[in-house]
Amino acid sequence: MDEMWSYYGNKKNQVWLWWAVDHNTHTPLAFTFGTREHRYLDELINLLKPFNIKTVFSDNNFSYKDRISEKILVTGKNNTQAIERHHLTLRTRIKRLARKTICFSKNFDIHKSIISFFINRFLFPCSFSNSTT
């Protein structure tokens, strides 16, 4: 699990992508958008319940320690390389996520939609067909 900061409109309108990636396959499992409040981590945790996750790898963000049992939580950067690599992919391919850019979303719904579409289209391993049959 990890979170990624971005903004829409101006840098005062911060939005966080909270998401979880399978540690073995590097496939995104679930994601949500919001502020850095605990309730968005709670939303992500609820989305992950059907996966029956046994171990959670995360960075040292205090939110994870508050919401996830220390029996299953492993913190540190050693096990978060895959999700950090996804952050780089997002920042490279979606210019509005770059730290210094002239490209940005004007409102939250557009911002969320563009990032969601990219994650669903390019990071989930599903069978999108190129044919129109």
- Give every residue of the chain whose pLDDT is below 50, as ranges: 131-133
Is 85 contained in some domain?
A: yes
Whether 29 is covered by a domain: the verdict is yes
The verdict on residue 128 lying in a domain is: no
Number of domains in the chain: 1
CA dihedral 104, 26, 51, 18 (to 10 degrees): -20
- With CA atoms as reference, report the closest residue to 2 among 114, 97, 81: 81
What pLDDT shows up at residue 3? 92
Is the residue at 19 inside a domain? Answer: yes
The pairing of beta strand 28-34 with beta strand 56-58: unpaired
- Cα Rg for the chain, rounded, in angstroms? 15
Tokens of 55: 């171990």
Q: What are 8-46's pLDDT values in tens digits?
A: 888 899 999 999 999 888 888 999 999 888 999 999 999
Q: Name the residue range of residue 26's domain.
A: 2-123
Q: What predicted TM-score, i.e. pTM, was given to this entire model?
A: 0.83
Opening angle at CA 18, ends 92 and 83, nearest 5: 50
Q: What is the CATH number of the domain that holds 43?
A: 3.30.420
Residue 129 domain-assigned (yes or no): no
